Amino acid sequence: MPSLAVQSAAAPRNGAEKLCKTLSSTVAGTLGKPESYVLVTFQKVDAMCFGGSTEPAAFVYLSSLGSIDPETNKATSAAVAGVLEEELGVPKDRYYINFFDSERSNMGYNGATFQK
Protein backbone atom coordinates (compact mmCIF):
# COMPACT_ATOMS: atom_id res chain seq x y z
CA MET A 1 0.00 0.00 0.00
CA PRO A 2 2.64 2.62 0.86
CA SER A 3 4.67 3.60 -2.20
CA LEU A 4 7.79 5.70 -1.76
CA ALA A 5 9.64 7.14 -4.76
CA VAL A 6 12.97 8.90 -4.30
CA GLN A 7 14.80 10.90 -6.95
CA SER A 8 18.28 12.34 -6.48
CA ALA A 9 21.41 13.13 -8.44
CA ALA A 10 23.40 11.73 -5.49
CA ALA A 11 24.48 8.09 -5.62
CA PRO A 12 23.61 5.91 -2.62
CA ARG A 13 26.73 5.37 -0.51
CA ASN A 14 25.89 1.71 0.14
CA GLY A 15 24.05 0.96 -3.10
CA ALA A 16 20.47 1.45 -4.26
CA GLU A 17 19.26 -1.89 -2.86
CA LYS A 18 20.41 -1.00 0.65
CA LEU A 19 18.80 2.42 0.38
CA CYS A 20 15.49 0.91 -0.75
CA LYS A 21 15.50 -1.74 1.99
CA THR A 22 16.31 0.83 4.67
CA LEU A 23 13.56 3.16 3.48
CA SER A 24 11.11 0.24 3.26
CA SER A 25 11.50 -0.68 6.92
CA THR A 26 11.58 3.00 7.93
CA VAL A 27 8.30 3.83 6.18
CA ALA A 28 6.60 0.65 7.38
CA GLY A 29 7.53 1.60 10.93
CA THR A 30 6.41 5.22 10.85
CA LEU A 31 3.16 4.46 9.02
CA GLY A 32 2.36 1.35 11.05
CA LYS A 33 1.91 -0.71 7.86
CA PRO A 34 3.18 -4.21 7.10
CA GLU A 35 6.47 -4.02 5.25
CA SER A 36 5.21 -6.75 2.90
CA TYR A 37 3.05 -4.08 1.23
CA VAL A 38 5.67 -1.30 1.02
CA LEU A 39 7.10 -0.44 -2.41
CA VAL A 40 10.22 1.74 -2.64
CA THR A 41 11.95 2.99 -5.76
CA PHE A 42 15.13 5.01 -6.19
CA GLN A 43 15.88 6.87 -9.39
CA LYS A 44 19.26 8.51 -9.91
CA VAL A 45 18.74 11.53 -12.11
CA ASP A 46 21.36 13.34 -14.16
CA ALA A 47 20.94 16.63 -12.35
CA MET A 48 18.89 18.22 -9.57
CA CYS A 49 18.83 21.87 -8.59
CA PHE A 50 17.37 22.87 -5.22
CA GLY A 51 17.37 26.53 -4.18
CA GLY A 52 19.64 27.43 -7.07
CA SER A 53 22.31 24.93 -5.99
CA THR A 54 23.28 21.53 -7.39
CA GLU A 55 24.62 20.33 -4.04
CA PRO A 56 23.05 16.95 -3.02
CA ALA A 57 19.26 17.16 -2.89
CA ALA A 58 16.28 14.82 -3.24
CA PHE A 59 12.61 14.75 -4.14
CA VAL A 60 10.44 12.16 -2.38
CA TYR A 61 6.84 11.16 -3.06
CA LEU A 62 4.91 8.99 -0.58
CA SER A 63 1.47 7.59 -1.30
CA SER A 64 -0.43 5.44 1.18
CA LEU A 65 -3.91 4.15 1.93
CA GLY A 66 -4.42 5.99 5.19
CA SER A 67 -1.77 6.84 7.79
CA ILE A 68 -1.24 10.19 6.09
CA ASP A 69 -1.92 12.82 8.73
CA PRO A 70 -0.02 15.76 10.24
CA GLU A 71 1.61 13.88 13.13
CA THR A 72 2.52 10.78 11.12
CA ASN A 73 3.84 12.97 8.30
CA LYS A 74 6.18 14.78 10.73
CA ALA A 75 7.52 11.48 12.06
CA THR A 76 7.90 10.03 8.57
CA SER A 77 9.60 13.17 7.25
CA ALA A 78 12.10 13.11 10.12
CA ALA A 79 12.84 9.40 9.68
CA VAL A 80 13.23 9.65 5.89
CA ALA A 81 15.46 12.74 6.30
CA GLY A 82 17.80 10.72 8.49
CA VAL A 83 18.08 7.97 5.88
CA LEU A 84 18.61 10.44 3.03
CA GLU A 85 21.38 12.15 4.97
CA GLU A 86 23.08 8.88 5.91
CA GLU A 87 22.73 7.04 2.59
CA LEU A 88 22.75 9.89 0.03
CA GLY A 89 24.53 12.72 1.83
CA VAL A 90 21.42 14.89 1.38
CA PRO A 91 21.11 17.37 4.27
CA LYS A 92 17.73 17.60 5.98
CA ASP A 93 17.14 21.03 4.49
CA ARG A 94 17.71 19.89 0.88
CA TYR A 95 14.77 17.65 0.13
CA TYR A 96 11.02 17.83 -0.26
CA ILE A 97 8.61 15.02 0.50
CA ASN A 98 5.07 15.06 -0.85
CA PHE A 99 2.51 13.03 1.07
CA PHE A 100 -0.55 11.68 -0.74
CA ASP A 101 -3.44 9.82 0.92
CA SER A 102 -4.70 7.53 -1.86
CA GLU A 103 -8.30 6.46 -2.21
CA ARG A 104 -8.70 2.68 -2.00
CA SER A 105 -10.35 2.65 -5.44
CA ASN A 106 -7.34 4.46 -6.94
CA MET A 107 -4.68 1.93 -5.94
CA GLY A 108 -4.43 -1.37 -7.79
CA TYR A 109 -2.92 -4.65 -6.66
CA ASN A 110 -3.22 -8.28 -7.72
CA GLY A 111 -5.45 -7.45 -10.71
CA ALA A 112 -7.94 -5.46 -8.63
CA THR A 113 -8.04 -2.43 -6.36
CA PHE A 114 -8.10 -2.14 -2.58
CA GLN A 115 -11.72 -0.98 -2.66
CA LYS A 116 -13.95 -3.39 -0.79
What one-character-per-residue DSSP string does 22-76 give? HHHHHHHHHHT--GGG-EEEEEE-S---BTTB-SS-EEEEEEESS--SHHHHHHH
Phi, psi dihedral angles at 69 (to 5 degrees) = -155, 165
Q: 12 an active-site residue?
A: no
Of the listed 2, 12, 56, 91, which one is catalytic?
A: 2
- Rounded Cα distance between 102 and 45, Å, is 26
Q: How many Å apart are CA 65 and CA 101, to the nearest integer?
A: 6
Count CB neighbours of 110 within 10 A.
6
Q: Give the catalytic positions in this structure.
A: 2
